[in-house]
Amino acid sequence: MDTAGKVIKCKAAVLWEPHQAFKLEEIEVAPPKAHEVRIKIIATGICRSDDHIVDGLMKDRKYPVILGHEGAGIVESVGDGVTTVKPGDKVIPLFLPHCGECRGCAEPKSNVCCKSDIGKNNGLMFDNTSRFTCKGKLIHNFINTSTFTEYTVVDEISVVKIHDDAPLDKVCLVGCCFSTGYGSAVNLAKVEPGSTCAVFGLGGIGLSVIIGCKAAGASRIIAIDVNSRKFEKAKELGATECVNPKDQENPIHEVIQKMTNGGVHYSFECIGNTDIMVSALLSSHLSCGTAVIVGVAPSLSKLSFPPILLLTGRTLKGGLFGGFRGKDSVPQLVLDLISEKFKVDGLLTHKLAFNEINKGFDLLRKGESIRTVLEF
């Protein structure tokens, strides 16, 4: 059946209010307008950032909303003027758009497009309308993507074509998890051969940081988590030592300082906890250490530490999507996964049907899963 130009009725997981379970609803998805693309989502990962919204930690969010930002699918139809993808193409939606024209896209050192909805939380298409409705109500989108639905509509700058042979149930992890973690090590920290690293939080993102540190030739990779069940996988992927802060008498930064003769070269916060961001900074060497913030903390939280920590020579930085520019980097990262330059199989612990989405979030909250991929 040719659906182009028509409203599609399909299944979506709607979050009507924070602190609630997702409701599987029939929604209407309007056809793409000019420069927009309608995508049939084939697979989507569950990332902690989605859970932050369910938890109500992002206080300025719009509801109701369709979450999900780590997906892969096939273009169903395109609006006028779309030149980079066509119906039938395999694609990955980009939660960080890449317009190629704005100040952010023009800056050679930046990967953050000014059209990104991160921090703005508008939850709408660029013309300030939505393509989603349910029971007569407007449903918001999430960071220009919304993948917890059989069909979504994104702007052309928020989607990139990938290779026809890409296994979508795996490469969906390039949409956030793998790229964010791996890129944080190789692009943001720029880990060097022989350097020492500490990774706080061993979810899909922290484990991908470990993959990046190892690829960059780090001599020591210290993996830190309050859940010791995460250690086996961390070691498999390249961690040289594992530490559970709960088993230590002293604060974790003192433990890391002691293990590394004063602190690591590079530390990574992959939890979204401001206290741990300070621990990560303190765990980096006072003269030359760099701490990279990867985790997204609750929207009203504040980071506080004595400036002397930086005056002695430490660097504190952060980044989105591992510093990758979506349109330039995602197709190659997908090829690297196809050729098994990198393996994400270890990150992909569970596969569930889309309608088991609430179970998928429970597994993440209980620390039983790394990545659950939902298939439609």
Instruction: For residue 52, indicate whether it is catalytic.
Output: yes
Residue with tokens 């991929």: 373
| Min separation Cβ 131 and ligand COD, Å | 21
Q: Where is 9: in which H helix or E strand?
A: strand 8-14
Which among 13-21, 24-32, 156-164, 200-208 is the span making contact with ligand COD, rule CB under 6 A?
A: 200-208
**Which one of ligand COD, Zn ion, none is in contact with 102 (Cβ closer than 5 to 8 A by kind)?**
Zn ion
Distance between CA 142 and CA 96 in Å, rounded? 11
Which among 78-86, 218-226, 232-240, 333-341 is the span making contact with ligand COD, rule CB under 6 A?
A: 218-226
Comparing every residue's Cβ against ligand COD, the nearest one is: 203
| Min separation Cβ 203 and ligand COD, Å | 2
Among 320, 330, 333, 363, interactor with ligand COD by CB under 6 A: 320
346 makes contact with ligand COD (CB under 6 A): no
Which pairs from 338-343 meet CB under 8 Å and 24+ separation? 338/163, 338/165, 338/166, 338/167, 338/171, 342/178, 342/182, 342/211, 342/215
Among 68, 206, 263, 360, interactor with ligand COD by CB under 6 A: 206
| Residue 317 neighbours by CB distance under 10 Å | 12
Instruction: For residue 49, indicate whether it is catalytic.
Output: yes
- Encoding tokens for residue 205? 């993102």
Q: Which is nearer to ligand COD, 305 or 313 (CB)?
A: 305
Q: At what angle do helices 274-283 and 252-259 cross, to 10 degrees?
A: 20
Distance between CA 229 and CA 309 in Å, rounded? 32
Q: What ranges in 251-307 are assigned the alpha helix state H?
A: 252-259, 274-283
Catalytic residue among 99, 113, 176, 270: 176
The pairing of strands 137-139 and 36-45 is: unpaired
Instruction: For residue 213, indicate whether it is catalytic.
Output: no
Measured CA to CA in angstroms, residue 86 lies from 1, 135, 160, 250, 350 at distances of 17, 31, 11, 57, 31
Among 140, 230, 265, 285, interactor with ligand COD by CB under 6 A: 230
Distance between CA 10 and CA 202 in Å, rounded? 35
Question: How many alpha carbons fall within 13 Å on the CB side of residue 213?
Answer: 31
- Encoding tokens for residue 350? 């569970």
**Which one of Zn ion, ligand COD, none is in contact with 273 (Cβ closer than 5 to 8 A by kind)?**
ligand COD
Q: Which is nearer to ligand COD, 93 or 289 (CB)?
A: 93
Among 276, 281, 330, 333, interactor with ligand COD by CB under 6 A: 276
Task: Name the residues that contact Zn ion, by CB under 5 A.
Answer: 47, 49, 99, 102, 105, 113, 176
Catalytic residue among 52, 98, 140, 265: 52
Instruction: For residue 47, indicate whether it is catalytic.
Output: yes
Q: How many chain residues interact with ligand COD (CB under 6 A)?
A: 32
Tell me which residues touch ligand COD (CB under 6 A): 47-49, 69, 95, 176, 180, 200-206, 224-227, 230, 245, 270-273, 276, 294-296, 320-321, 364, 367
Show which residues are catalytic. Answer: 47, 49, 52, 69, 176
